[in-house]
Amino acid sequence: MATALLFARCPLSESHMKMSAYVYMEDCRLGQKFTAGPITVTAEEIIAYAKQFDPQDFHTDPVKAKNTVFGELVASGWHTASLTMRMIVDSMPKMEGGMVGRHIENMNWPRPVRPGDQLSYEAEILDMRASGSNPKRGVLRIRNTTRNQKGETVMEMESIVFIPRRGS
What is the pTM for the complete model shown? 0.84
Structural domain range at position 111: 5-164
Per-residue pLDDT reduced to its tens digit, 103-155:
899 999 999 999 999 999 999 999 999 999 998 999 999 999 999 999 999 99
Which residues, listed in sequence order, are joined to residue 139 by a DSSP beta bridge?
Answer: 129, 162
Radius of gyration of the chain (CA): 18
More confident residue, 71 or 166: 71
**Distance from C-alpha of 122 to C-alpha of 166, rounded to nearest angstrom:** 25
Of 99, 113, 109, 122, give the one whose Cα is nearest residue 36.
122
User: How many domains does one find in the chain?
Assistant: 1
Condensed to tens digits (0 to 9), the pLDDT of residues 9-53 reads: 334 444 344 445 788 899 999 999 999 999 999 999 999 999 999
Comparison of pLDDT for 160 and 12, the residue scoring more: 160
Q: E-strand spans in 64-152?
A: 100-108, 118-130, 137-147
98 confidence band (pLDDT: 50, 70, 90): low
State the CATH number of the domain containing residue 118: 3.10.129.10
3-class SS at 15?
Answer: helix
